Structure 1
Amino acid sequence: MRMIFGLVLLVGIALAGGAVYLAKGQIGQYKNAIARAEAAKSQIVPTQKIFVVNRALKYGEKLSKDDVRIVDFPIAALPDGHFTELTAIFPETTDEQRVILRPIEKDEALLSVKVSKPGEDAGLTSRLERGMRAFAISVDVSSGVSGFLRPGDRVDIYWTGRSGNGQNRLEVTKLIQSTISLIAVDQSSGEVEGARIARTVTVAVTPNQVASLAQAQSTGRLSLSLVGAGDDIVIANNIEVNQQDLLGIVKETKAPAAAAEKVCTIRTRRGAEVVSIPIPCTN
Protein backbone atom coordinates (compact mmCIF):
# COMPACT_ATOMS: atom_id res chain seq x y z
CA MET A 1 0.00 0.00 0.00
CA ARG A 2 2.85 2.28 0.89
CA MET A 3 4.52 1.50 -2.40
CA ILE A 4 1.41 2.47 -4.32
CA PHE A 5 1.10 5.72 -2.34
CA GLY A 6 4.74 6.55 -2.98
CA LEU A 7 4.38 5.82 -6.69
CA VAL A 8 1.28 8.02 -6.92
CA LEU A 9 3.16 10.80 -5.08
CA LEU A 10 6.10 10.58 -7.48
CA VAL A 11 3.77 10.67 -10.48
CA GLY A 12 1.99 13.70 -9.02
CA ILE A 13 5.24 15.52 -8.43
CA ALA A 14 6.38 14.76 -12.00
CA LEU A 15 3.10 16.00 -13.42
CA ALA A 16 3.26 19.17 -11.31
CA GLY A 17 6.83 19.83 -12.44
CA GLY A 18 5.82 19.31 -16.06
CA ALA A 19 2.91 21.68 -15.64
CA VAL A 20 5.18 24.32 -14.12
CA TYR A 21 7.69 23.91 -16.96
CA LEU A 22 4.97 24.22 -19.60
CA ALA A 23 3.45 27.22 -17.85
CA LYS A 24 6.86 28.89 -17.64
CA GLY A 25 7.46 28.36 -21.36
CA GLN A 26 3.99 29.69 -22.22
CA ILE A 27 4.49 32.75 -20.04
CA GLY A 28 7.86 33.38 -21.76
CA GLN A 29 6.16 33.21 -25.17
CA TYR A 30 3.53 35.68 -23.98
CA LYS A 31 6.21 38.06 -22.74
CA ASN A 32 8.10 37.83 -26.05
CA ALA A 33 4.90 38.46 -28.00
CA ILE A 34 4.09 41.50 -25.84
CA ALA A 35 7.64 42.85 -26.31
CA ARG A 36 7.39 42.44 -30.09
CA ALA A 37 4.01 44.20 -30.10
CA GLU A 38 5.39 47.11 -28.06
CA ALA A 39 8.41 47.41 -30.40
CA ALA A 40 6.15 47.41 -33.44
CA LYS A 41 3.90 50.00 -31.82
CA SER A 42 6.87 52.28 -31.14
CA GLN A 43 7.77 52.21 -34.85
CA ILE A 44 4.32 53.26 -36.03
CA VAL A 45 4.47 56.81 -37.50
CA PRO A 46 1.75 59.16 -36.20
CA THR A 47 -0.53 60.17 -39.07
CA GLN A 48 -3.33 62.58 -39.86
CA LYS A 49 -5.97 62.35 -42.55
CA ILE A 50 -5.55 64.92 -45.34
CA PHE A 51 -6.73 65.21 -48.94
CA VAL A 52 -4.61 64.30 -51.97
CA VAL A 53 -5.46 64.35 -55.69
CA ASN A 54 -6.45 61.24 -57.65
CA ARG A 55 -4.86 62.32 -60.95
CA ALA A 56 -2.36 64.76 -62.40
CA LEU A 57 -3.92 68.23 -62.64
CA LYS A 58 -2.68 71.03 -64.91
CA TYR A 59 -2.91 74.77 -64.62
CA GLY A 60 -6.40 76.11 -65.36
CA GLU A 61 -8.33 72.86 -64.74
CA LYS A 62 -11.45 72.89 -62.57
CA LEU A 63 -11.20 70.92 -59.32
CA SER A 64 -14.07 68.51 -58.57
CA LYS A 65 -14.88 66.17 -55.68
CA ASP A 66 -13.92 63.20 -57.85
CA ASP A 67 -10.37 64.57 -58.10
CA VAL A 68 -9.61 64.24 -54.38
CA ARG A 69 -9.51 61.52 -51.73
CA ILE A 70 -8.49 61.35 -48.08
CA VAL A 71 -5.39 59.44 -46.92
CA ASP A 72 -3.27 59.00 -43.79
CA PHE A 73 -0.26 61.33 -43.95
CA PRO A 74 2.73 61.46 -41.54
CA ILE A 75 2.21 64.30 -39.07
CA ALA A 76 5.93 65.14 -39.03
CA ALA A 77 5.86 65.84 -42.78
CA LEU A 78 2.56 67.71 -43.09
CA PRO A 79 2.92 70.51 -45.71
CA ASP A 80 1.57 74.00 -45.02
CA GLY A 81 -1.84 74.73 -46.49
CA HIS A 82 -3.16 71.12 -46.54
CA PHE A 83 -6.87 70.32 -46.28
CA THR A 84 -8.38 68.03 -43.63
CA GLU A 85 -12.09 68.62 -44.33
CA LEU A 86 -13.98 68.23 -47.60
CA THR A 87 -16.10 71.28 -46.75
CA ALA A 88 -12.93 73.37 -46.59
CA ILE A 89 -12.24 72.48 -50.23
CA PHE A 90 -15.83 72.65 -51.45
CA PRO A 91 -17.79 75.03 -49.17
CA GLU A 92 -21.49 74.24 -48.83
CA THR A 93 -22.33 77.95 -49.11
CA THR A 94 -21.31 78.19 -52.79
CA ASP A 95 -21.32 76.15 -55.98
CA GLU A 96 -18.30 77.99 -57.42
CA GLN A 97 -15.39 75.70 -58.27
CA ARG A 98 -11.71 76.08 -57.51
CA VAL A 99 -9.17 76.36 -60.35
CA ILE A 100 -5.70 74.77 -60.42
CA LEU A 101 -2.99 77.46 -60.21
CA ARG A 102 0.08 75.18 -60.31
CA PRO A 103 0.56 71.66 -61.72
CA ILE A 104 -0.20 68.91 -59.17
CA GLU A 105 0.95 65.30 -59.61
CA LYS A 106 -1.14 62.21 -58.83
CA ASP A 107 -1.22 61.34 -55.07
CA GLU A 108 0.27 64.75 -54.20
CA ALA A 109 -1.21 66.63 -51.24
CA LEU A 110 -3.74 69.29 -52.23
CA LEU A 111 -2.46 72.64 -50.95
CA SER A 112 -4.17 76.01 -50.73
CA VAL A 113 -1.37 77.74 -52.71
CA LYS A 114 -1.98 75.44 -55.69
CA VAL A 115 -5.70 76.11 -56.07
CA SER A 116 -7.70 79.31 -56.33
CA LYS A 117 -10.43 80.30 -53.93
CA PRO A 118 -13.94 79.17 -54.95
CA GLY A 119 -15.00 81.19 -57.98
CA GLU A 120 -11.69 83.04 -58.26
CA ASP A 121 -10.04 83.48 -61.65
CA ALA A 122 -6.71 81.77 -62.33
CA GLY A 123 -5.14 84.95 -63.73
CA LEU A 124 -1.90 86.63 -62.71
CA THR A 125 -3.48 88.39 -59.73
CA SER A 126 -3.98 85.02 -58.03
CA ARG A 127 -0.24 84.28 -58.36
CA LEU A 128 0.95 87.50 -56.76
CA GLU A 129 1.79 87.43 -53.09
CA ARG A 130 0.78 90.27 -50.81
CA GLY A 131 2.76 93.45 -51.53
CA MET A 132 4.11 92.18 -54.86
CA ARG A 133 3.49 93.60 -58.35
CA ALA A 134 3.65 92.14 -61.87
CA PHE A 135 6.08 93.76 -64.31
CA ALA A 136 6.62 92.80 -67.97
CA ILE A 137 10.12 92.68 -69.50
CA SER A 138 10.74 92.58 -73.25
CA VAL A 139 13.10 89.76 -74.28
CA ASP A 140 14.35 88.01 -77.41
CA VAL A 141 16.35 84.91 -78.29
CA SER A 142 19.58 86.34 -76.79
CA SER A 143 18.20 88.07 -73.71
CA GLY A 144 15.53 85.47 -72.89
CA VAL A 145 17.77 82.38 -72.40
CA SER A 146 16.89 80.97 -75.85
CA GLY A 147 13.28 80.15 -75.01
CA PHE A 148 13.93 77.91 -72.00
CA LEU A 149 12.13 80.12 -69.49
CA ARG A 150 9.05 78.73 -67.71
CA PRO A 151 6.60 80.25 -65.21
CA GLY A 152 7.94 79.52 -61.75
CA ASP A 153 11.62 79.85 -62.78
CA ARG A 154 13.93 82.37 -61.10
CA VAL A 155 16.23 84.70 -63.01
CA ASP A 156 18.96 87.27 -62.47
CA ILE A 157 18.40 90.52 -64.39
CA TYR A 158 21.31 92.42 -65.97
CA TRP A 159 21.27 95.93 -67.43
CA THR A 160 23.49 96.96 -70.34
CA GLY A 161 23.86 100.65 -71.20
CA ARG A 162 26.19 103.65 -71.15
CA SER A 163 27.47 105.06 -67.89
CA GLY A 164 29.72 108.03 -67.07
CA ASN A 165 30.32 111.44 -68.63
CA GLY A 166 32.44 112.75 -71.48
CA GLN A 167 35.56 110.70 -72.21
CA ASN A 168 34.75 108.43 -69.23
CA ARG A 169 31.43 107.35 -70.75
CA LEU A 170 31.60 103.55 -71.23
CA GLU A 171 29.32 100.64 -72.14
CA VAL A 172 28.52 98.82 -68.88
CA THR A 173 26.72 95.57 -67.97
CA LYS A 174 25.54 95.38 -64.35
CA LEU A 175 23.48 92.98 -62.22
CA ILE A 176 20.50 95.00 -60.99
CA GLN A 177 18.12 92.34 -59.59
CA SER A 178 18.82 88.82 -58.34
CA THR A 179 16.63 85.65 -58.11
CA ILE A 180 13.43 87.25 -59.41
CA SER A 181 10.44 84.89 -59.88
CA LEU A 182 8.76 84.55 -63.28
CA ILE A 183 4.98 84.29 -63.13
CA ALA A 184 4.22 84.31 -66.86
CA VAL A 185 5.90 83.83 -70.24
CA ASP A 186 4.16 85.78 -73.01
CA GLN A 187 0.44 85.26 -72.31
CA SER A 188 0.83 81.97 -70.43
CA SER A 189 1.14 81.69 -66.65
CA GLY A 190 0.77 77.90 -66.72
CA GLU A 191 2.83 75.04 -68.10
CA VAL A 192 4.64 75.88 -71.36
CA GLU A 193 5.09 73.01 -73.83
CA GLY A 194 8.52 72.76 -75.47
CA ALA A 195 11.06 75.54 -76.02
CA ARG A 196 9.77 78.71 -77.63
CA ILE A 197 11.17 82.20 -78.06
CA ALA A 198 9.28 84.54 -75.76
CA ARG A 199 8.72 88.20 -76.53
CA THR A 200 7.86 89.20 -72.96
CA VAL A 201 8.18 87.67 -69.52
CA THR A 202 6.33 88.84 -66.43
CA VAL A 203 8.07 88.93 -63.06
CA ALA A 204 6.80 89.34 -59.49
CA VAL A 205 8.62 92.25 -57.81
CA THR A 206 8.14 94.92 -55.17
CA PRO A 207 6.99 98.44 -56.14
CA ASN A 208 10.54 99.75 -55.62
CA GLN A 209 11.89 97.05 -57.96
CA VAL A 210 9.23 98.03 -60.52
CA ALA A 211 10.63 101.57 -60.57
CA SER A 212 14.20 100.28 -60.93
CA LEU A 213 13.31 97.91 -63.78
CA ALA A 214 11.23 100.53 -65.60
CA GLN A 215 14.14 103.00 -65.46
CA ALA A 216 16.62 100.33 -66.56
CA GLN A 217 14.46 99.17 -69.45
CA SER A 218 14.01 102.72 -70.75
CA THR A 219 17.72 103.59 -70.60
CA GLY A 220 19.35 100.37 -71.79
CA ARG A 221 18.80 96.70 -72.55
CA LEU A 222 17.81 94.01 -70.03
CA SER A 223 19.10 90.42 -70.17
CA LEU A 224 18.01 87.44 -68.11
CA SER A 225 20.14 84.68 -66.62
CA LEU A 226 18.36 81.50 -65.47
CA VAL A 227 18.95 80.46 -61.83
CA GLY A 228 19.19 76.75 -60.98
CA ALA A 229 16.25 75.10 -59.23
CA GLY A 230 18.26 74.22 -56.11
CA ASP A 231 20.48 77.30 -56.10
CA ASP A 232 20.08 79.27 -52.85
CA ILE A 233 23.36 81.24 -53.00
CA VAL A 234 22.78 84.97 -52.41
CA ILE A 235 24.59 87.13 -54.99
CA ALA A 236 25.51 90.70 -54.10
CA ASN A 237 24.19 93.30 -56.55
CA ASN A 238 27.62 94.83 -57.19
CA ILE A 239 28.59 92.79 -60.26
CA GLU A 240 29.59 95.21 -63.04
CA VAL A 241 31.74 94.84 -66.16
CA ASN A 242 32.65 97.64 -68.62
CA GLN A 243 34.52 97.61 -71.93
CA GLN A 244 37.91 98.22 -70.35
CA ASP A 245 37.41 95.38 -67.84
CA LEU A 246 36.29 93.05 -70.62
CA LEU A 247 39.29 93.79 -72.87
CA GLY A 248 41.81 94.11 -70.05
CA ILE A 249 42.62 97.74 -70.89
CA VAL A 250 44.42 99.61 -68.13
CA LYS A 251 43.58 103.30 -68.10
CA GLU A 252 46.71 105.43 -68.52
CA THR A 253 47.29 108.10 -65.94
CA LYS A 254 49.21 111.25 -66.92
CA ALA A 255 52.29 112.04 -64.89
CA PRO A 256 51.93 115.29 -62.98
CA ALA A 257 53.63 118.25 -64.74
CA ALA A 258 56.89 119.39 -63.19
CA ALA A 259 56.56 122.56 -61.23
CA ALA A 260 57.98 125.55 -63.09
CA GLU A 261 61.12 126.96 -61.54
CA LYS A 262 60.43 130.20 -59.75
CA VAL A 263 62.37 133.21 -61.07
CA CYS A 264 62.71 136.43 -59.09
CA THR A 265 63.72 139.70 -60.74
CA ILE A 266 64.09 143.36 -60.04
CA ARG A 267 63.56 146.16 -62.50
CA THR A 268 66.01 148.97 -62.94
CA ARG A 269 66.13 151.91 -65.33
CA ARG A 270 69.13 152.52 -67.52
CA GLY A 271 68.56 155.81 -69.12
CA ALA A 272 65.30 155.53 -71.02
CA GLU A 273 65.28 151.68 -70.85
CA VAL A 274 63.79 149.53 -68.04
CA VAL A 275 65.79 146.34 -67.50
CA SER A 276 64.75 143.19 -65.49
CA ILE A 277 67.67 141.71 -63.57
CA PRO A 278 67.30 138.14 -62.09
CA ILE A 279 68.16 137.82 -58.41
CA PRO A 280 68.01 134.88 -55.90
CA CYS A 281 64.52 134.33 -54.48
CA THR A 282 64.33 134.91 -50.76
CA ASN A 283 61.32 132.63 -50.12
Structure 2
Amino acid sequence: MNKRMVIILASGLMISMLMAIFVQALMRSGSSQNKVEISKKDVLVASQHINIGDDLSDDKMTWQAWPSDLVFDGAIIRQENQAAGDALQGRVVRVIQKGEPILPTALIAETDGNFLAARLNDGMRATAIKVSAESSVGGFVTPGDYVDVILTYQVRVPSSNDGAQERAAEYVSRNASQTVLENIRVLAVDQDAKSKESAKIARTVTLEVDQKGSEVLALSSSMGDLSLALRKLGDTSHTEKKTDLTTDVLISNVLQQLNQSQNNSGNNAVRVYNGADVQQQMIRARIVPQQ
Protein backbone atom coordinates (compact mmCIF):
# COMPACT_ATOMS: atom_id res chain seq x y z
CA MET A 1 0.00 0.00 0.00
CA ASN A 2 1.49 3.25 -1.13
CA LYS A 3 1.64 6.42 0.84
CA ARG A 4 -1.14 8.07 -1.14
CA MET A 5 -3.63 5.30 -0.31
CA VAL A 6 -2.82 5.56 3.39
CA ILE A 7 -3.53 9.27 3.32
CA ILE A 8 -6.90 8.69 1.60
CA LEU A 9 -7.96 6.02 4.11
CA ALA A 10 -6.88 8.16 7.05
CA SER A 11 -8.79 11.12 5.65
CA GLY A 12 -11.96 9.01 5.20
CA LEU A 13 -11.70 7.68 8.72
CA MET A 14 -11.28 11.20 10.05
CA ILE A 15 -14.31 12.42 8.11
CA SER A 16 -16.42 9.48 9.39
CA MET A 17 -15.49 10.26 12.97
CA LEU A 18 -16.33 13.93 12.51
CA MET A 19 -19.70 13.02 10.98
CA ALA A 20 -20.48 10.68 13.90
CA ILE A 21 -19.62 13.38 16.40
CA PHE A 22 -21.76 15.90 14.49
CA VAL A 23 -24.80 13.53 14.33
CA GLN A 24 -24.49 12.73 18.03
CA ALA A 25 -24.39 16.44 18.85
CA LEU A 26 -27.53 16.99 16.78
CA MET A 27 -29.34 14.15 18.57
CA ARG A 28 -28.40 15.55 21.98
CA SER A 29 -29.59 18.97 20.94
CA GLY A 30 -32.98 17.58 19.82
CA SER A 31 -33.35 15.56 23.01
CA SER A 32 -32.70 18.60 25.20
CA GLN A 33 -35.27 20.56 23.23
CA ASN A 34 -37.88 17.83 23.80
CA LYS A 35 -37.28 18.03 27.53
CA VAL A 36 -38.27 21.70 27.77
CA GLU A 37 -41.18 21.88 30.27
CA ILE A 38 -44.46 23.39 29.11
CA SER A 39 -45.64 26.27 31.31
CA LYS A 40 -48.77 25.30 33.26
CA LYS A 41 -51.23 26.90 35.67
CA ASP A 42 -53.62 25.36 38.21
CA VAL A 43 -57.25 25.98 37.22
CA LEU A 44 -60.28 25.43 39.49
CA VAL A 45 -62.45 22.59 38.16
CA ALA A 46 -65.33 20.45 39.44
CA SER A 47 -64.17 17.23 41.09
CA GLN A 48 -67.67 15.74 40.74
CA HIS A 49 -71.02 16.41 39.09
CA ILE A 50 -72.62 19.55 40.60
CA ASN A 51 -76.37 20.12 40.30
CA ILE A 52 -78.32 23.36 40.13
CA GLY A 53 -78.66 24.96 43.56
CA ASP A 54 -75.81 22.96 45.13
CA ASP A 55 -73.57 24.82 47.54
CA LEU A 56 -69.91 24.73 46.58
CA SER A 57 -67.74 22.88 49.08
CA ASP A 58 -64.17 21.60 49.26
CA ASP A 59 -65.12 18.08 48.15
CA LYS A 60 -66.74 19.38 44.96
CA MET A 61 -63.75 21.38 43.68
CA THR A 62 -60.10 20.70 42.92
CA TRP A 63 -57.11 22.24 41.16
CA GLN A 64 -56.08 20.88 37.76
CA ALA A 65 -52.90 21.76 35.83
CA TRP A 66 -53.61 23.38 32.46
CA PRO A 67 -51.13 24.62 29.80
CA SER A 68 -50.79 28.34 30.25
CA ASP A 69 -51.64 29.06 26.62
CA LEU A 70 -54.96 27.19 27.02
CA VAL A 71 -56.18 29.08 30.09
CA PHE A 72 -59.07 31.32 29.03
CA ASP A 73 -60.44 34.53 30.49
CA GLY A 74 -62.68 33.99 33.52
CA ALA A 75 -60.98 30.81 34.72
CA ILE A 76 -60.07 30.74 38.42
CA ILE A 77 -56.26 30.44 38.69
CA ARG A 78 -54.62 29.23 41.89
CA GLN A 79 -52.75 31.80 43.94
CA GLU A 80 -49.70 30.26 45.66
CA ASN A 81 -50.92 27.49 48.05
CA GLN A 82 -54.57 28.53 47.94
CA ALA A 83 -57.11 25.84 48.89
CA ALA A 84 -59.87 25.08 46.42
CA GLY A 85 -62.56 25.89 48.97
CA ASP A 86 -61.11 29.36 49.51
CA ALA A 87 -61.12 30.28 45.83
CA LEU A 88 -64.87 30.42 45.25
CA GLN A 89 -68.03 30.14 47.36
CA GLY A 90 -71.74 30.20 46.65
CA ARG A 91 -74.48 28.22 44.92
CA VAL A 92 -74.49 27.28 41.25
CA VAL A 93 -77.25 28.25 38.82
CA ARG A 94 -76.49 25.59 36.21
CA VAL A 95 -75.22 22.03 36.06
CA ILE A 96 -71.41 21.70 36.12
CA GLN A 97 -69.87 18.47 34.83
CA LYS A 98 -66.91 16.72 36.45
CA GLY A 99 -63.65 18.23 35.22
CA GLU A 100 -65.33 21.38 33.91
CA PRO A 101 -63.75 24.69 34.99
CA ILE A 102 -65.88 26.52 37.56
CA LEU A 103 -66.49 30.11 36.56
CA PRO A 104 -67.88 32.95 38.69
CA THR A 105 -70.68 33.31 36.14
CA ALA A 106 -71.95 29.86 37.17
CA LEU A 107 -72.75 31.16 40.65
CA ILE A 108 -75.71 33.23 41.70
CA ALA A 109 -74.83 36.71 42.91
CA GLU A 110 -75.99 37.89 46.33
CA THR A 111 -77.58 40.91 44.68
CA ASP A 112 -79.80 38.80 42.42
CA GLY A 113 -83.47 38.58 43.29
CA ASN A 114 -83.48 34.77 43.41
CA PHE A 115 -80.38 34.49 45.59
CA LEU A 116 -82.45 33.59 48.66
CA ALA A 117 -84.35 30.91 46.75
CA ALA A 118 -81.06 29.36 45.64
CA ARG A 119 -79.90 29.10 49.26
CA LEU A 120 -82.91 27.03 50.32
CA ASN A 121 -82.38 23.33 50.91
CA ASP A 122 -84.68 20.81 49.22
CA GLY A 123 -88.25 20.90 50.54
CA MET A 124 -87.68 24.04 52.60
CA ARG A 125 -89.41 27.44 52.55
CA ALA A 126 -88.34 30.95 53.43
CA THR A 127 -90.72 32.63 55.88
CA ALA A 128 -90.25 36.11 57.34
CA ILE A 129 -91.39 37.27 60.79
CA LYS A 130 -91.42 40.70 62.40
CA VAL A 131 -88.89 41.24 65.17
CA SER A 132 -87.54 43.98 67.39
CA ALA A 133 -84.29 44.49 69.26
CA GLU A 134 -85.70 42.66 72.28
CA SER A 135 -87.15 39.76 70.30
CA SER A 136 -84.05 39.24 68.12
CA VAL A 137 -81.39 38.88 70.83
CA GLY A 138 -80.59 42.57 70.82
CA GLY A 139 -79.83 42.51 67.11
CA PHE A 140 -77.07 39.89 67.36
CA VAL A 141 -78.87 37.45 65.05
CA THR A 142 -77.17 37.25 61.65
CA PRO A 143 -77.69 35.10 58.51
CA GLY A 144 -76.39 31.58 59.07
CA ASP A 145 -77.25 31.49 62.78
CA TYR A 146 -79.63 28.92 64.24
CA VAL A 147 -82.43 29.95 66.58
CA ASP A 148 -85.45 28.70 68.50
CA VAL A 149 -88.76 30.50 67.97
CA ILE A 150 -90.75 31.31 71.13
CA LEU A 151 -94.41 32.35 71.12
CA THR A 152 -95.85 34.48 73.94
CA TYR A 153 -99.63 34.82 73.83
CA GLN A 154 -102.81 35.39 75.82
CA VAL A 155 -104.73 32.23 76.61
CA ARG A 156 -108.42 32.35 75.75
CA VAL A 157 -110.32 29.57 77.47
CA PRO A 158 -113.79 29.21 75.92
CA SER A 159 -116.75 29.70 78.25
CA SER A 160 -118.59 26.41 78.60
CA ASN A 161 -120.69 24.45 81.04
CA ASP A 162 -118.06 21.84 81.79
CA GLY A 163 -115.92 23.99 84.11
CA ALA A 164 -113.05 24.50 81.65
CA GLN A 165 -112.35 28.01 82.90
CA GLU A 166 -112.23 26.88 86.52
CA ARG A 167 -109.80 24.08 85.71
CA ALA A 168 -107.66 26.33 83.52
CA ALA A 169 -107.31 28.82 86.38
CA GLU A 170 -105.04 26.33 88.13
CA TYR A 171 -102.49 26.63 85.31
CA VAL A 172 -102.94 29.99 83.61
CA SER A 173 -104.55 33.32 84.36
CA ARG A 174 -103.88 35.18 81.13
CA ASN A 175 -100.42 34.77 79.53
CA ALA A 176 -98.43 31.75 78.38
CA SER A 177 -95.21 31.11 76.47
CA GLN A 178 -93.87 28.12 74.55
CA THR A 179 -91.20 27.15 72.02
CA VAL A 180 -92.94 26.47 68.72
CA LEU A 181 -89.88 25.74 66.51
CA GLU A 182 -86.34 24.56 67.29
CA ASN A 183 -82.98 24.77 65.52
CA ILE A 184 -84.15 26.99 62.66
CA ARG A 185 -81.61 28.51 60.24
CA VAL A 186 -81.64 32.27 59.71
CA LEU A 187 -81.57 33.04 55.99
CA ALA A 188 -81.70 36.83 56.02
CA VAL A 189 -81.97 39.82 58.31
CA ASP A 190 -84.22 42.45 56.74
CA GLN A 191 -83.23 42.17 53.05
CA ASP A 192 -79.62 41.19 53.68
CA ALA A 193 -78.75 37.51 53.22
CA LYS A 194 -75.00 37.95 53.65
CA SER A 195 -73.33 36.98 56.93
CA LYS A 196 -71.64 39.89 58.66
CA GLU A 197 -69.49 40.18 61.72
CA SER A 198 -71.33 43.27 62.96
CA ALA A 199 -74.88 43.06 64.28
CA LYS A 200 -77.74 45.39 63.51
CA ILE A 201 -81.26 46.01 64.74
CA ALA A 202 -83.63 44.28 62.33
CA ARG A 203 -87.32 44.67 61.59
CA THR A 204 -87.77 41.30 59.88
CA VAL A 205 -85.92 38.00 60.00
CA THR A 206 -86.33 35.35 57.30
CA LEU A 207 -86.16 31.74 58.52
CA GLU A 208 -85.73 28.44 56.68
CA VAL A 209 -88.57 26.08 57.62
CA ASP A 210 -90.49 23.21 56.08
CA GLN A 211 -94.12 23.49 55.00
CA LYS A 212 -95.45 22.70 58.48
CA GLY A 213 -93.03 25.19 60.01
CA SER A 214 -94.25 27.97 57.73
CA GLU A 215 -97.82 27.25 58.85
CA VAL A 216 -96.76 27.34 62.50
CA LEU A 217 -95.05 30.71 62.01
CA ALA A 218 -98.04 32.18 60.17
CA LEU A 219 -100.48 31.11 62.89
CA SER A 220 -98.16 32.02 65.76
CA SER A 221 -97.71 35.54 64.38
CA SER A 222 -101.45 36.11 64.66
CA MET A 223 -101.68 34.57 68.14
CA GLY A 224 -99.10 36.69 69.92
CA ASP A 225 -95.50 37.90 69.95
CA LEU A 226 -92.60 35.89 68.52
CA SER A 227 -89.09 35.97 69.99
CA LEU A 228 -85.84 34.38 68.85
CA ALA A 229 -83.44 32.49 71.12
CA LEU A 230 -79.94 32.24 69.64
CA ARG A 231 -78.42 28.74 69.79
CA LYS A 232 -74.80 27.87 70.40
CA LEU A 233 -72.74 27.36 67.26
CA GLY A 234 -72.97 23.69 66.28
CA ASP A 235 -75.84 22.90 68.65
CA THR A 236 -78.35 20.80 66.68
CA SER A 237 -80.16 19.14 69.59
CA HIS A 238 -83.95 18.94 69.76
CA THR A 239 -86.27 18.55 72.74
CA GLU A 240 -87.45 14.95 72.57
CA LYS A 241 -90.38 15.38 74.95
CA LYS A 242 -92.83 18.11 75.81
CA THR A 243 -91.48 20.47 78.44
CA ASP A 244 -93.42 21.78 81.40
CA LEU A 245 -95.92 24.56 80.84
CA THR A 246 -94.67 28.14 81.04
CA THR A 247 -97.56 30.36 82.15
CA ASP A 248 -98.14 33.38 84.34
CA VAL A 249 -99.66 31.23 87.11
CA LEU A 250 -96.69 28.86 87.17
CA ILE A 251 -94.21 31.76 87.23
CA SER A 252 -96.00 34.22 89.51
CA ASN A 253 -95.94 33.46 93.23
CA VAL A 254 -98.82 35.90 93.70
CA LEU A 255 -101.15 34.03 91.35
CA GLN A 256 -100.15 30.72 92.89
CA GLN A 257 -100.93 32.05 96.37
CA LEU A 258 -104.31 33.37 95.24
CA ASN A 259 -105.24 30.00 93.76
CA GLN A 260 -104.13 28.25 96.93
CA SER A 261 -106.15 30.60 99.10
CA GLN A 262 -109.25 30.07 97.00
CA ASN A 263 -108.86 26.30 97.15
CA ASN A 264 -108.50 26.41 100.93
CA SER A 265 -111.50 28.68 101.42
CA GLY A 266 -113.96 25.95 100.55
CA ASN A 267 -115.74 28.06 97.94
CA ASN A 268 -117.92 26.25 95.44
CA ALA A 269 -119.58 27.48 92.28
CA VAL A 270 -123.25 26.91 91.57
CA ARG A 271 -124.82 27.72 88.22
CA VAL A 272 -128.29 29.25 88.29
CA TYR A 273 -130.32 28.78 85.15
CA ASN A 274 -133.01 31.34 84.35
CA GLY A 275 -134.30 30.54 80.90
CA ALA A 276 -131.47 31.17 78.46
CA ASP A 277 -129.48 33.10 81.07
CA VAL A 278 -126.87 31.23 83.11
CA GLN A 279 -125.18 32.80 86.12
CA GLN A 280 -122.45 31.40 88.31
CA GLN A 281 -122.69 32.00 92.06
CA MET A 282 -119.88 31.33 94.51
CA ILE A 283 -121.04 29.71 97.76
CA ARG A 284 -118.79 29.54 100.77
CA ALA A 285 -118.99 26.26 102.63
CA ARG A 286 -120.36 26.64 106.15
CA ILE A 287 -118.22 25.24 108.92
CA VAL A 288 -120.43 23.42 111.44
CA PRO A 289 -119.05 23.48 114.99
CA GLN A 290 -118.65 20.13 116.63
CA GLN A 291 -121.06 19.29 119.49
Q: Could you list the per-position Cα deviations for residues 178-227 of structure 1 after superposition, in whole angstroms to 9, with x for gaps in the alignment? A: 11000111111112252210111100000111011100001100000000
Is the deviation greater in 184-193 or in 201-210?
A: 184-193
Structure 2 spans left out of the alignment, 5+ residues? 1-40, 47-56, 66-72, 77-81, 94-105, 160-164, 269-291
In the aligned structure 2, how far is the partner of 1:218 from the partner of 1:113?
38
Higher mean C-alpha displacement, 228-237 vs 195-204: 228-237
**How far apart, in 2, do the equivalents of 1:135 and 1:125 lie?**
11
2:206 to 185, 189, 202: 202
Give runs of aligned pairs for residues 112-261 of structure 1, distance below 5 A. 114-117=90-93, 118=106, 120-122=108-110, 123-165=115-157, 168=169, 170-236=174-240, 238=243, 240-248=245-253, 249-250=255-256, 251-252=259-260, 253=263, 255=266
CA distance in 2 between partners of 1:66 and 1:141 (Å) = 48
Q: What per-residue deviation string (whole Å, max 9, x for no partner) do you get for residues 223-267 of structure 1?
A: 00000003233224535311111113433436487xxxxxxxxxx
1:82 aligns with 2:41: no
1:55-106 deviations in Å (ceiling 9; x for gaps): xxxxxxxxxx999599xxxxxxxx774223669xxxxxxx9999xxxxxxx6
**1:107 paired to 2:83:** yes
Structure 1's unaligned 5+ residue stretches are: 1-64, 71-78, 88-94, 99-105, 258-283
Q: 1:193 to 1:113 in 2, by over 3 A?
A: closer
Taking only the aligned residue pairs, the percentage that are identical comes to: 29
> What is the CA–CA distance in structure 1 between the aligned matches of 2:248 and 2:43, rounded to whole Å?
57
Q: Counterpart of 1:109 in structure 2: which amino acid?
A: G
Q: Quick one: structure 1 residues 230 and 130, their matched pair in 2 at CA, closer, same or farther if it must change by over 3 Å? A: closer
Amino acid at match of 1:245: L
Matching residue's letter, 1:116:
V
CA distance in 2, matches of 1:191, 1:231: 18
In the alignment, the residues of structure 2 paired with residue 115 and residue 84 of structure 1 have an alpha-carbon distance, to the nearest angstrom, of 16
Q: 1:130 & 1:191 partners in 2: Cα distance?
A: 21
Secondary structure of 1:183's match?
Answer: strand
What amino acid is the match of 1:246?
I
SS class of match (2:249): helix
Which whole-Å CA distance do the structure 2 matches of 1:215 and 1:97 have between them?
49
Supply the RMSD in Å over aligned alpha carbons. 3.7
- In 2, the alpha carbon distance for the partners of 1:66 and 1:239 equals 59
Tell me how many residue pairs correspond in the alignment.
Answer: 173
- TM-score with structure 2 setting the length: 0.50
Match of 1:260 in 2: none
Q: SS at the partner of 1:215? A: helix
Question: CA–CA distance in 1 between the matches of 2:87 and 2:60?
Answer: 5
TM-score normalized by structure 1?
0.51
Q: Are 1:82 and 1:112, in contact at CA under 8 Å, matched by a contact in 2?
A: no
The Cα shift of 1:113 comes to: 7.4
CA, structure 1 residues 238+202, in 2 after alignment: closer, same or farther (shift >3 Å)?
A: same
C-alpha distance in 1, partners of 2:204/2:251? 29
